Amino acid sequence: MVSNKKKILSFLVLILFINLTFSNNIDDCDEDRGISAERSERRVIKNSNDGSNFYELNDYYQPENWNYFSGSFATKDCKDASYITIPLGTTGGLDEGNLSSFLITKKGSNLFLALDAGTIWQGVRRLTTFKYFNTLFNITYPAWATLPEQRTSWFLKNHILGYFVGHSHLDHVGGLIIISPEDYLAKSWIDLPDPITTGIMGLIHQLGFKPSDFTTGILQKKTIVGLAPTINSISTNLFNNQVWPNLPSFGRYQYYSVAAGIDYPFTELIPYNETIMAPVKSQFPFSLNVRPFELCHDNLISTAFLFTDSITQEQFAFFSDTGVPSSTACDWEGKIYEVWRNIHIEKLKAIYIEVSFPDATPDSAMFGHLRPRDLMKLLDQLIVQSRQTNPPTTNLKHVKLIVEHIKPQVSPDPNGWTTQRLIYQQLKDSNTNGIRVIIPNQGDPICI
């Protein structure tokens, strides 16, 4: 018996010795940084899924993007700007954490409107964790909101006033649907020990509301604006108690179905009457007028929203998906030219529009999207068809082109380029009108 115990003990000691020797050899090899270590690293990257080398991949796109990103929040870019836009999502399909959505605000304001709503939470979480964002935009949080998810939730509640939705495909509305359980301000927030006077809370205080003025548990319904087919699809097919709870019926949202070609003051697209809104009528976003236009998105009606500041007459245009059809004969170019004819060229600040695919993509695979060559042809017509100055404006150097909805590069590419890089290069090569091309990065503010 004793002999057996000794044998077992000797065997365990031998195993321990072999294990320690092997570990030390690996450590020595790595510390020496010789050929053996390099081969070991390559072998680990190729064959292992333990996560030890994932840090080399996490930042793959960011440095590459900055090589051709031409918009920024730097002083030189913001000096003559009036508005600030923040991309919450920039890609078209596949990447559920980065789908089409942009916030827009005016310099000095911290109320935001969302333009499409493919991704909301992930984009807001990213921007609220940036070092200087909360200071620069005067974002105030309740004392308890210290975690990133708590701050993300509070920003949604208190700083996004409403949503302009261009069409009802999931990559343009999915973010709104998913965040809807958190997207409201409870009546109890108005009685915080340290009152918050920024965002929607600030608006409520500015308009002189008291707790007794609110008859429900929610301080304000959020606005959802779209053409009738879009609003009908959202209400019937998404907020329908089957795909998702019908939260608008609980006072979270107010639908506003708008008609193409009609001007709407934003004060008519919010659940307060004009008398109440009078003190803030000159402030963003209540100084905006919006005119929607029908667009072709293959066999679906999409939308362009043309925003005009009623005080400065400055304009910016947001296009949801549109472009070359593959299965219909819709006059997609003619509908875009109708938007151009309502633009005062010298007042135009920015155009948000998609470029989903590179130039080599055939018409049969477009399904209502744009390539660089399609867009540059359209922009040349903007100069011709817009409301011109005297003498005429002959270029678009004062306009920023914010490129949306770029599809991820999932097919082989001989250069190893992302679609963003390829599309930027193709836009740059065919840019004869001088427009400032911007490939946006999620969460990075852009002055316009």
pLDDT of the residue at 113: 99
Distance CA 365, CA 294 (A): 22
Instruction: Quote the DSSP letter at residue 239.
Output: B
Task: Domain 63-447: give its CATH superfamily.
Answer: Ribonuclease Z/Hydroxyacylglutathione hydrolase-like (3.60.15.10)
Domain ranges of the chain: 1-58, 63-447
pLDDT attached to residue 13 = 47
Query: Taking a C-beta distance cutoff of 8 angstroms, is the pair 71, 77 a contact?
Result: yes
Sheet with strand 300-309: strands edge to edge: 264-265, 288-297, 300-309, 315-319, 348-354, 400-404, 436-438
- Average pLDDT of adjacent 10-residue blocks, the chain of 448 residues: 53 47 38 34 36 36 48 73 95 92 96 98 94 90 94 97 98 98 90 87 90 81 98 98 96 97 96 88 97 97 98 98 92 98 98 97 96 98 97 96 94 87 94 94 90
What are the residues whose beta carbons fall under 8 Å from the beta carbon of 357, sequence distance 6 or more? 365, 366, 369, 370, 371, 407, 419
pLDDT at residue 228, rounded to an integer: 99
Tokens 């409870």 sit on residue: 186
Alpha-carbon separation of residue 208 from 159, 204, 277, 287, 312 (angstroms): 18, 6, 11, 19, 27
Predicted local confidence at residue 381, as pLDDT = 97
pLDDT of residue 41: 37
Peptide bond connecting 391 to the previous residue in cis, omega within 30 degrees of 0: yes
Bridge partner list, 218: 186
Residue 89 phi, psi (nearest 5): -160, 140
Query: What is the predicted pLDDT for the residue at 215?
Result: 74
Strand order in the sheet with 83-89: 253-258, 222-227, 160-164, 112-115, 101-106, 83-89, 446-447
Q: What is the pTM of this model?
A: 0.85
Q: How far is CA 106 from the centre of its chain?
A: 17
pLDDT at 355: 98
**Token pair belonging to 245:** 């709870």
